[in-house]
Structure 1
Amino acid sequence: MHFAYPPRKDSAPPRFVPRSTQFSTLRRRRLKVVAIIGLAIITFLYLISRGSSGQGPPREHVPSGKPPAVIVTVLDESDFRRPYLETVKENRRQYAERHGYAVMFPKIGEYDLKGSPFSWTKVVAMRDAMTKFPDAKFIWFLDQDYFIMNAQATIEEDVMKPTRLESLMIKDHPVVPPDSIIKTFAHLKGQDIDFVLTQDVEGLSVNSFVIRNGEWARFFLEVWFDPIYRTYNFQKAETHALEHIVQWHPTILSRLALIPQNVINAGSTSEKGAQYQPGDMVVRLSNCAKASNTKPCETELEKFTQLWRTAFSGS
């Protein structure tokens, strides 16, 4: 069992804590209590809804694998140049056609985020993909500054296959580096995992991650998008909300696997961790700038464009 904070190891009286710090600590504690209560309510309603239709226990829909996976990329047309975004679409479509995948390109502003920052669009888009493709086995979110480089690698075989996951899973490791006392579970097997992502030098990365389609995934996305987390002033919005969730809710952590960054999250430089090497599945344009800047994404993309087009045109 993990504890959020280690017990006090000495009997010395506590040091004086400024009033503002006390209020900040009290606020965090209240958030944790409210979050736990909120998760309990969502879980209860989830269980009730499953048992309220028809006679006998409900049968969970098992995705047939048609398509095997859906790639979701949210496009920001206000901040990124149109030629660049068209190249992003071309990259996804060529890869998807090769493997029989579906693709979705929702746009910033397409969903009602209830006043939350636009970065939350990824969470709603993933839920939308599950609704539109109920028989897809996996949903892969891939941000718009990533390009798929390996035409042969697939999500179902090279990432989510249980035996493959067994070789990739980083166990008993701090969820939020470098020193979180909450760690990934050491006893989990590949078949236990429904949510796969990586870490970079800043913590959990929500720019490239995979979810196994199913009832648990719906539950998880509803928890993640809960108003409790969207309205709390996290510095990095949905990223820090996720870090909070996986550390405080074993229901989520027990289905999560961290894998090496280079599998689905290598960068064009080593600035944020693992640097792209030939054969890696994707590359992230580490210095990709928005359209208003002098160094657009196309500049950094130049050295990779011919590589992935050549790879995709091969047999």
Structure 2
Amino acid sequence: MQFALPPRRNLNAPPYIRSSRLSLQRRKQLKAVAILGFALLTVFFLLSQFFYTSTGTAAVSAGTPSLVIVTVLDRVRWSDTYIQKIIKNREDYAKRHGYTNFFANLSDYESSLDNAPKSWGVVPAVRHAMASHPHATHFFYLDVHALFMNPSKSLDSHLLGKSRLDSLMLKDVPVVPPDSIIKTFSHLKPQDVDLIMTTDSEDLSSGSFIIKQGDYAQFLLDIWFDPLYRKYNFAKAEAHALDHIVQWHPTILARLALVPQRIINAYSKDSSSAGVDGNYKDGDLVIRFFGCDTDTKRSCEKEMDPYYRLWSKNSKTE
């Protein structure tokens, strides 16, 4: 019985000639792809360094404001004359220092307040401002019942500069006066600050504060506006909610700086609850008519009028 034999191999022929040629060609292709990929990654890296700052935030074009002043306007309750005075005062200040204003309408947020006091509008207004100005660094919320009285002082030199802020920060003091056992951090550095506030004689002031754009701000605003707090019926609504949050959330407290009241929150002489040396004096940046909208014996418009006339006179001479 015979068996078919396989074809005889030429032992002198190089094995896999075709496969070898294909492998060489593929290696060349892969090498070219690798070089191209590396080149693209290099270009992307260089562009990312050009368009992004060292902090990881997108670089912005010249002229983009670094600070936004946030004001909530209740156009139903207050006269147009009163509101236009507030707008004129803040637009003048912003224009002098390269800032911009965000005038929010309270009516835009009332549906989200779930019947909570209207003063809660501060939280969605600040969030709205941040969404509208994603490249701004800081946001200064200032209650509508307040005026800039010293237009020559920029917030950058008056408060936000590192050396200036370091000199103003109140360390190891009660977060909520007069005797809270929770105190501000004694080792906090200016570069680690994301929230700047003042207190009066009773509470943290939710009517005048500066917050830095970023994850911390989103975290704080999310917690602050939680339905649990809005529906808790705090005696002073969002102010007492903030007192609670800052005292019992170390993550929030860890990046909070308290500064003297008159730096950004000087109270008028008719306002109660001013802290030690918290009443307005000539030369202060801001005067705030705290409580003028809740005290039936007071009138916000009448209280503001003489200060508005003084500001108008002084602003024309500068």
- TM-score category of the 2 structures, normalised to the smaller one: 0.7 to 0.9
SS at match of 2:218: helix
Query: Where does residue 312 of structure 1 map in the other structure?
Result: 315
Aligned to 1:165: 165
TM-score, structure 2 length as denominator? 0.75
1:127–1:221 CA contact under 8 A, matched in 2: yes
Who is 1:72 aligned against?
Answer: 70
Mapped to 1, the partners of 2:273 and 2:180 lie a distance apart of 19
Give how far 1:222 is off.
1.3
Name the CA shift for 1:232/1:147 in 2 (closer, same or farther; >3 Å): same
Stretch deviating more after TM superposition (216-225 or 260-269): 216-225
- In the TM superposition, what is the alpha-carbon distance from 1:172 to its structure 2 partner? 0.6
Larger CA deviation: 126-135 vs 95-104: 95-104
Question: 1:113: which partner in 2?
Answer: 112
Q: Is the 8 A contact 1:276 1:283 kept in 2?
A: yes
Task: Quote the residue 1:298 is aligned against.
Answer: 301
- Structure 1 contact 220–252 (Cα < 8 Å) conserved: yes
Q: Which runs of 5+ in 2 are unaligned?
A: 1-54
Once the two structures are superposed, residues 87-117 of structure 1 have per-residue CA deviations (whole angstroms, 9 ceiling, x without a partner) of 1111111111111211111122212324032
Q: Which amino acid aligns with 1:96?
A: A
Answer whether contact 1:268 1:284 (CA < 8 A) is retained: yes
Give the aligned partner of residue 272 of structure 2.
Answer: 271
Instruction: Specify the alignment match of 2:179 in structure 1.
Output: 179
Where does residue 288 of structure 2 map in the other structure? 284
Please tell me whether the aligned partners of residues 63 and 136 of structure 1 are also in contact (alpha carbons under 8 angstroms): no
| 2:85 is the counterpart of 1:87 | yes
* Deviating more after overlay: 134-143 vs 150-159: 150-159
Alignment-derived partner of residue 57 in structure 2: 61
Separation of aligned partners in 1, 2:289 and 2:203? 18
Task: Name the aligned partner's letter for residue 301 of structure 2.
Answer: E
Residues 272 and 291, structure 2, Cα contact 8 Å, conserved in 1 = no
Number of paired residues? 256
State the SS of the aligned residue for 1:278: coil
Give the partner amino acid of 2:305.
E
- With CA pairs under 8 Å and 6+ residues apart, which has the higher RCO, 1 or 2? 1
Aligned sequence identity (%): 46
Change (3 A) 1:271 1:281: same
TM-score scaled by structure 1? 0.76
Contact 1:70–1:103 (CA under 8 A) maintained in structure 2 = yes
Secondary structure at the aligned position of 2:131 is classed as: helix
* 1:154-303 pair list within 5 angstroms: 154-269=154-269, 271-273=272-274, 274-286=278-290, 288-289=292-293, 296-303=299-306
Q: CA deviation at 1:164?
A: 0.9
> How far apart, CA to CA, are the structure 2 residues paired with 1:195 and 1:63?
22
Residues in 2 aligned to 1:121 and 1:167: alpha-carbon distance in whole angstroms: 32
Paired with 1:280 and 1:253, the residues of 2 have a C-alpha distance of 27
